[in-house]
């Protein structure tokens, strides 16, 4: 053992004895529909295998959040249909990969994101107004909550239930994740969305990158102000979304710096980009002789 890392026998025995006291926990999950749920589901499978109890809260209408294996799913009603959601999600992904000028892409993505956030807000409001379900959550004595804060419904519930929160996310629009974690996010270094810039920029490109930040003031207002108002009404006190996000205990960031630009990270931010990859064995390929 390296110098300075040795432990006395009594200390080692004490640590080993504490292992027997470890118990499985009870986890509340409030996910975002779509690809975030598919990635999170892999994590929940592993947690269940380790003996943890997992309870997932999900809307009755969704793209992927259907009853799954041994997961406990608590469903709640929403005021939109499956057809409405399927149509909106198809339009959103189609627009995301369209080419065109910045203005064309910006306004198309703006409308698509607005429809998406309308679904998320409506779903969150009906969850928080479901007194029977909220009472069940209050009485269940969870140990922690796992949620994607891009739709901050789980963040609001974590505050209401006084639970430590683990965030499982790819990122939050408008740089709110940087602001909440107090991570540096300089426009001279980190390229903004839709700019097609890299982390190697000329002076004028850096100016362009800085100007693109001004759109965040408008985007955040229309996307997250309704959630701020909903949170204040539900918690019965004035709160801001940044205040709630700052209380995140651990941020599991679905980034891989081989594909994404490196960025500063705080100690409670852990990149887990590989979680998006299915664990499958490579096929055996035979050699053909000619």
d(CA 239, CA 126): 20
pLDDT tens digits for range 189-227: 778 776 778 878 899 999 888 888 777 767 777 788 999
pLDDT tens digits for range 16-43: 444 444 467 899 999 998 888 988 988 8
* Residue 265: predicted pLDDT: 87
Query: What confidence tier does 277 reach under pLDDT thresholds 50, 70, 90?
Result: low
Instruction: Using DSSP bridges, classify how beta strands 165-169 and 144-147 pair: parallel, antiparallel or unpaired.
Output: parallel
Query: What confidence tier does 286 reach under pLDDT thresholds 50, 70, 90?
Result: low
pLDDT tens digits for range 142-188: 999 999 999 999 999 999 999 999 999 988 877 888 889 998 888 87
Structure tokens at 108: 């198309």
pTM of this prediction? 0.81
Q: What class, spelled out in words, does domain 24-275 have in CATH?
A: alpha beta
User: What ranges do the domains of the chain cover?
Assistant: 24-275
* Residue 68: predicted pLDDT: 80
* Residue 262: predicted pLDDT: 73
SS3 category, 199: coil
CA distances to 32, 36, 38, 47 from 41, rounded to whole Å, are 11, 9, 5, 10
pLDDT tens digits for range 252-272: 998 877 777 777 889 999 988
């Amino acid at each position: 053992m390296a110098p300075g890392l040795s432990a006395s026998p009594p200390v080692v025995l004490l640590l080993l004895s504490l292992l027997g006291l470890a118990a499985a926990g009870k986890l509340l999950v409030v996910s975002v529909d779509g690809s975030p749920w598919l990635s999170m589901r892999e994590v929940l499978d592993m947690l269940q295998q380790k003996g943890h109890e997992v309870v997932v809260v999900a809307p009755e209408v969704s793209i992927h959040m259907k009853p799954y294996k041994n997961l406990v799913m608590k469903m709640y009603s929403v005021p939109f249909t499956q057809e409405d959601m399927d149509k909106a999600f198809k339009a959103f992904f189609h627009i995301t990969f369209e080419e065109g000028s910045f203005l064309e892409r910006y306004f198309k993505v703006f409308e698509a994101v607005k429809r998406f956030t309308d679904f998320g807000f409506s779903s969150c409001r009906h969850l928080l107004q479901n007194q029977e379900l909220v009472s069940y959550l209050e009485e269940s004595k969870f140990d922690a909550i796992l949620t994607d804060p891009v739709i901050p419904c789980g963040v609001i519930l974590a505050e209401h239930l006084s639970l430590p929160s683990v965030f499982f996310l790819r990122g939050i629009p408008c740089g709110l994740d940087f602001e909440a974690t107090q991570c540096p996010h300089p426009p001279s270094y980190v390229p903004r969305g839709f700019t097609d810039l890299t982390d190697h920029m000329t002076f004028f490109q850096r100016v362009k990158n800085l100007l693109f930040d001004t759109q965040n003031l408008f985007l955040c207002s229309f996307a997250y102000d309704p959630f701020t108002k909903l949170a204040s009404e539900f918690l019965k006190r004035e709160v801001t979304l940044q205040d709630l996000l700052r209380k995140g205990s651990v941020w599991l960031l679905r980034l891989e710096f081989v594909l994404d630009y490196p960025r500063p990270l705080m100690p409670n931010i852990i990149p887990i980009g590989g979680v998006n990859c299915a664990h499958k064995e490579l096929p055996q390929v035979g050699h053909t002789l000619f």
